[in-house]
A = this chain, B = another copy of it.
């Protein structure tokens, strides 16, 4: 069998069950959440790692050195945000084709240093090596949390929320992967949303302090895929109301509603937070959230008792199909 037949999540399940199924010591948490958990006195350590490969995750000349450096750290910090953690340190490995310009690398490190400084998350180590193929980047981040949030805490009746606009990044990706696609003045906005995501560290820490926030993760593959991780980990089902998905003004201006819903559900890399909140506390938490961050906490659906492993998508209260698949690296 070839890997492309097995798929990304198939691979992870296969090897984790076969070789790494022994029970972990108390307080540890392994494969299957945004971050792993290593218990320590005075608060858990949370760890996440992400691998970015040229011509799969990015097109070098399209994103440019500085945005690539920023994004490489941002997508990892987003996993810490999803757990409600405070960043502690990062580690960077890069495999570099020897012909790479040092100017490109200078810009890369400048971009990487941006989020590093912003969130006081020093680069403590890494590895640099020659690549016989393209540029490959792996970042590992370590954070600390007193009140960590996981994917597994969602309860029937919870309000499903997100922290910002969905779909812009996926719309931007269409320009990036198709060089022939005409770029009008709005294209720049979508491309920038794809290349320059902002890790929701402050939002994550704020939300993690509420006991009534039951589950949290970040949106990297699109909610139609990511919400299923919460459903599986929490043993619940979910209903999402398409007409409640937060769309940016330019998204509604430039795209049909159907395209916008498709971007917002199946497109990845929004890096907003996806969380479930006790419905009795939603009004209070969303009011405090809006006061602090000057933007709403968007309610997009409801957690239900476990029925189906598929998300029910509603449009004007009617069930609709065609929004159920997220992104899989190996079968895409």
Question: Which residue numbers of A lie inside 8 Å of B, CB to CB?
Answer: 1-6, 8, 11-12, 14-16, 18-20, 22, 24, 28-31, 35-38, 40-42, 45, 47-57, 88-89, 91, 93-103, 105-106, 109-110, 112-113, 116-117, 122-134, 136, 138, 140, 142, 329-330, 332
Contacts and interface: CB of A to CB of B under 8 A. Distances in A.
Contact of A42 (B40, B57, B98): B40
13 contacts: A1-B101, A3-B97, A3-B102, A16-B123, A18-B109, A29-B124, A36-B89, A36-B124, A38-B88, A51-B129, A51-B136, A53-B133, A131-B136
Nearest to A98: B4
A131 B130 contact: no
Contacts of A56: 95, 129-132
Contact of A53 (B5, B12, B124, B130): B130
A51 B95 contact: yes
B132 A91 contact: no
Nearest to A79: B125
A18 B106 contact: yes
Contacts of A31: 123-126
Given A51-B93, A56-B95, A112 B19 contact: yes
A311 B103 CA distance: 34
A49 B329 CA distance: 24
A311 to B, nearest CB: 24
Contacts of A329: 128-130
A138 B18 contact: no
A225 B136 CA distance: 26
Nearest to A125: B36
